[in-house]
Structures are given as structure tokens and as C-alpha cells.
């Protein structure tokens, strides 16, 4: 745990006095509870103590805070605090609790049904956007698996889920932003208005500005979903079916999972002893199994034909015979299927996650070396792995806009692996070492993977990560945050 220096506290105290004497007065607290909140995230691994936490009541408060910072202290915006490596922290600086904007200022979600867009405060949670939009018969088209995340937070990364093969990530479904830059300038931007800032901020890891509003594309909301989970024993068949599904619009959501133990196969085995025995034998033989999660939306207009359409879709796939767990749910139940995971009680676990993008040309070798070759080792109790979910599914690159800062592999189809580990708070190091082994394997084999939600520690690694975009990133940093004030926890320019 790192504490701010006496000098940084003194400088910020002087600046706080200047801020609080201005017409706009962002509340800044330095009590123990506020500082601990600013030094904590979902990862529960990194704890960087700020000198203060700001609670803005308006966008103008954010502007004044950044203008007052000069070069005296850094500033990091914190939404729901779901980073896992201290990315939203500011050691010795100021963490902005963006949720305060929503508490102080009402009407931060505005649905325009005629224009088919929503104007949403950057601090708002996607689950609240879901509820308010669906109440008016519309909904965003691209989601994250977990919707208790802030709009500004996901747009600063990319925002991915099983709809992205069709609609692209969330950053591809935004038409306008309000941003406070690292110069303390409040700017509205779009693809045609201040485009350098617009493309920079989307996927920009908080480096160029703080998103205070986003205009999000909407479509007519479905009312219900057909939802299937299909089990595979063969990797090639599994990926062939996934790529078939993302090559057309017959489905609305496609994801996949790596099954590493019998508990993860309960959807297919809980009511069948024979299937449970078969799965156990396969896992013992080959280490992992694979599953596709598939969803098709429908509403009252298509309810009469949905069963036939869904059956036709499933008949095109080569999953293990009989291993089809299908259910029916409301659209809201599906999008909010994970519920709120942020209500745990101490001691809280750690989440040493690893998220990768893998080019299609490398997935066979990646499966042999990592999915089948390494993930089964996590069943070893010595690793302190109490729980893990391993998500694996493909995207179409043509749904991503390369002008944005987000980085993906340079192939038309690429996959993501989300290794979502949960470990005891003091047991994350062994999982961290395991993650580094995965990265080491990819490097040794020349697999051109990219980190998503990157946890990178050196400038050289960041340059390698951004590749041909590095010069653009440097240029945008000089344009919009020349004093390197924003998001120091990403460790790109600080």
C-alpha cells in the first residue's frame, strides 16, 4: 500500500483552498473512509492512497478541479470502481467520485424515442439505462456482461459482450460525448465535431478526458429471449460453430466458455447421472470442454415463430448430442443476468483477472498451450483458486472503428479470453504468476495477442501494445492532457 508524500498533501491542500474559494466548489474529502474508497477497486490487489476524493455536483466542478490542478497533482475518475489493477487510482492525487454527479443532479438519463438515442451521464450505470430505456420500448444494442458498471468507465475501455459481433463494442454505438479534458476544457465532440477528442476518448483509458455525457444509439427493445447453452468436446468444431454464428444475423448474442471442471458443467449434468459420468470422463481425458451461449431475441410480433426459428438455428450446429440447455427469459432478465455483484462483506476476495484478444490465426495453438494446456492446472488447490470463469468468443473486426484508441488484433476475426479469477485476498500472487505464464507462452510462440483492460507496467510495453497507434496516442496526450494529469493509475505516461 502506497501513501502520498507530505509535499503532495501540502500542495493539494493549498490548491483545495483555492478551489473552495471559487464560485464552483467541488467537495473534496480526506477522511479515512473517502481515502480508502479512492484506494480500492474490484481487483482488491493494488491500493494507492490519494490525497483527497472529490464529490462533484456538476460538470463545472470537474472543470474547476482539473484547472486548479496545474501540475500540482493528478486526477483519476472513478465510476463503479471495477478496474482490477488500480487503473482508476491516483496516488497522492485526487480521485473523482463520478457517482456524486448522479446523486446531486437529476435527469442524467434522457431517452429520446423519436431520435432513437439516450443522453446519459458518464457516471450512470448501464443497468439504470436498461431500465429507463426498456420502460419506453427501446434499448441500447451493445452491452457488457455485467451491467452495474458506469457508462464512462466502459466507454473508456470498449465495452464488450455477445452482441458485439453484430453491433460492435459499446464505443461503436456512441454518436456524441461531453468531455472535460486534461486542460480543464469542457468540450462536446462527435465524429465531425472535435473528432480527435471523440476518437481519442473512446477506448482511451481515461488519458485524454473525463466523459461526463454520452449519446448512445438505441433500437426497439425486444421483450423476451430464447437462450441456449451448448456443450462441445472438440475445439475445432466449437470455433467453427462460433464463427458460423457471427457470420450472419440469425442470432443476437454469441459467447463461449471453457469448462474446466464438473461444477462448470452443471447446466447439462445436474439432472442426468449418465451425462455427469460422461463429462467427468471427458474432462479427465482432455482437461477441458467448451460451450457456446446463444441467444435470439423476440417480441409479440415474432412469438409465434420463435421456436421454429431457434430450432432451425440449433440444427446448423454440431454440439454434443443431447447437451443443449435451453430456457426462455425476459430481455431484462437476460441483460441483467448476473445481478449486482458489489454487495460482498469483508474480507473481500481479490480478482486477478486477465483479458486478452487473440487473432483467429493463433487460436488453435492458443487452445493447445493455454485453454487445454494451462487452465486445467487451476484445479490444483495449491493455487488458491476458489472460483474462475473463462469466457472465450469471437468478434468481427469490421465492427470496430480503428480511429478509436482501443487496440485489437489486425485480423478480420479475433477472439477474447476473459480469465476471471477469484482468489482469497492474500492468494492472488499465485494466480498473477499463472497469468504471466500465459503472457509468456504467447510471447514465446509469437502470438500477437493484445490485452483488453490492460495491466501494463512499462512504457516500452505500452508502446508495443499500441503498436502503430502509439504516435497518435502521444499526439492526443499532448493536445488534451499535456501535463499528464489524468488517469495516472494506467501507468502510460506517469
Residue 226, phi then psi, degrees to nearest 5: -95, 135
CA 467, CA 359: separation in Å to the nearest integer? 15
List the catalytic residue out of 145, 185, 262, 299.
145
Angstrom distance (rounded) from CA 190 to CA 298: 32
Q: Are 67 and 25 in contact (CB under 8 A)?
A: no
The gap from C-alpha 468 to its chain's centroid, in whole angstroms, comes to 23
SS3 (DSSP) at 77: strand
| 167 in catalytic set | no
Assess whether 293 carries a catalytic annotation. no
Partners of residue 255 on adjacent β-strands: 293
Which neighbouring-strand residues pair with 361? none
Residues 48, 39: Cα–Cα separation, whole Å: 5
Q: From the candidates 48, 61, 82, 481, give the one annotated as an active-site residue.
A: 82
Residue with cell 471495477: 82
255 carries an active-site annotation? yes
Q: Are 257 and 291 in contact (CB under 8 A)?
A: yes
Q: Which of 48, 255, 385, 481 is catalytic?
A: 255
Residues 382/384/386/387 CA torsion (nearest 10 deg): -90
Residue 229 CA to residue 268 CA, distance in Å, equals: 9
| 361: phi then psi, degrees, rounded to nearest 5 | -65, -15
Asked if residue 480 lies in contact with residue 209, where contact means CB atoms within 8 angstroms, the answer is yes
Give the helix/strand (H/E) hosting 196: helix 195-201
Cα–chain-centroid distance for residue 457?
A: 19
Give the separation between CA 406 and CA 158, rounded to whole angstroms: 7
Q: Which residues belong to the active site?
A: 82, 145, 255
Amino acid at each position: 500500500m502506497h501513501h502520498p508524500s507530505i509535499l503532495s498533501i501540502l500542495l493539494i491542500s493549498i490548491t483545495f483552498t483555492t478551489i473552495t474559494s471559487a464560485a464552483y466548489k467541488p467537495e473534496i474529502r480526506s477522511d479515512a473512509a473517502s481515502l480508502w474508497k479512492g484506494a480500492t477497486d474490484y481487483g482488491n490487489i493494488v491500493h494507492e492512497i490519494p490525497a483527497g476524493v472529490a464529490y462533484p455536483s456538476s460538470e463545472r466542478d470537474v472543470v474547476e478541479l482539473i484547472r486548479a490542478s496545474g501540475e500540482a497533482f493528478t486526477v483519476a475518475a472513478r465510476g463503479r470502481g471495477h478496474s482490477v489493477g488500480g487503473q482508476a487510482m491516483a496516488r497522492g492525487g485526487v480521485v473523482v467520485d463520478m457517482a456524486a454527479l448522479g446523486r446531486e443532479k437529476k435527469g442524467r438519463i434522457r431517452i429520446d424515442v423519436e431520435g432513437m438515442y439516450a443522453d446519459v451521464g458518464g457516471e450512470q450505470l448501464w443497468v439504470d439505462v436498461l431500465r429507463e430505456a426498456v420502460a419506453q420500448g427501446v434499448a441500447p444494442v451493445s452491452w457488457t456482461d455485467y451491467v452495474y458498471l458506469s457508462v464512462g468507465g466502459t466507454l473508456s475501455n470498449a465495452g464488450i459482450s455477445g452482441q458485439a459481433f453484430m453491433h460492435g463494442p459499446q464505443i461503436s454505438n456512441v454518436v456524441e460525448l461531453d468531455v472535460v479534458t486534461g486542460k480543464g476544457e469542457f468540450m462536446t465532440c462527435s465524429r465531425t465535431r472535435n473528432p480527435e477528442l471523440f476518437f481519442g476518448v473512446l477506448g482511451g483509458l481515461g488519458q485524454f478526458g473525463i466523459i461526463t455525457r454520452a449519446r448512445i444509439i438505441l433500437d426497439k427493445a425486444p421483450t423476451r429471449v430464447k437462450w441456449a447453452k451448448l456443450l462441445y468436446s472438440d475445439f475445432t468444431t466449437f470455433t467453427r460453430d462460433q464463427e458460423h454464428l457471427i457470420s450472419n444475423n440469425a442470432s443476437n448474442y454469441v459467447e463461449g466458455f471453457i469448462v474446466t471442471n464438473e461444477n462448470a458443467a452443471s447446466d447439462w449434468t445436474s439432472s442426468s447421472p449418465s451425462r455427469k459420468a460422461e463429462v467427468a470422463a471427458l474432462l479427465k481425458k482432455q482437461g477441458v470442454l467448451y460451450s457456446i451461449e446463444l441467444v435470439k431475441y423476440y417480441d409479440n410480433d415474432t412469438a409465434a415463430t420463435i421456436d421454429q426459428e431457434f430450432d432451425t438455428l440449433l440444427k446448423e450446429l454440431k454440439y454434443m448430442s443431447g447437451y443443449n440447455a435451453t430456457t426462455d427469459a425476459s430481455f431484462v432478465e437476460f441483460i441483467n443476468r448476473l445481478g449486482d455483484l458489489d454487495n460482498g462483506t469483508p474480507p473481500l476476495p481479490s480478482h486477478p483477472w486477465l483479458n486478452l484478444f487473440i487473432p483467429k490465426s493463433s487460436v488453435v495453438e492458443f487452445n493447445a498451450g493455454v485453454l487445454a494446456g494451462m487452465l486445467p492446472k487451476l484445479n490444483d488447490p495449491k493455487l488458491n483458486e476458489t472460483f474462475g470463469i473463462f469466457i472465450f468468443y469471437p468478434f468481427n473486426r469490421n465492427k470496430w472503428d480503428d480511429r478509436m484508441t482501443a487496440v485489437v488484433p489486425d485480423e478480420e476475426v479475433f477472439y477474447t479470453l476473459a480469465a476471471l479469477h477469484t482468489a482469497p485476498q492474500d492468494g492472488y500472487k499465485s494466480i498473477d504468476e499463472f497469468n504471466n505464464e500465459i503472457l509468456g507462452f504467447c510471447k514465446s510462440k509469437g502470438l500477437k495477442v493484445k490485452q483488453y483492460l490492460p495491466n501494463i507496467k512499462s512504457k516500452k510495453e505500452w508502446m508495443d501494445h499500441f503498436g502503430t497507434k502509439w504516435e497518435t496516442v502521444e499526439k492526443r496526450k499532448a493536445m488534451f492532457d499535456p501535463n499528464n494529469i489524468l488517469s495516472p493509475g494506467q501507468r502510460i505516461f506517469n
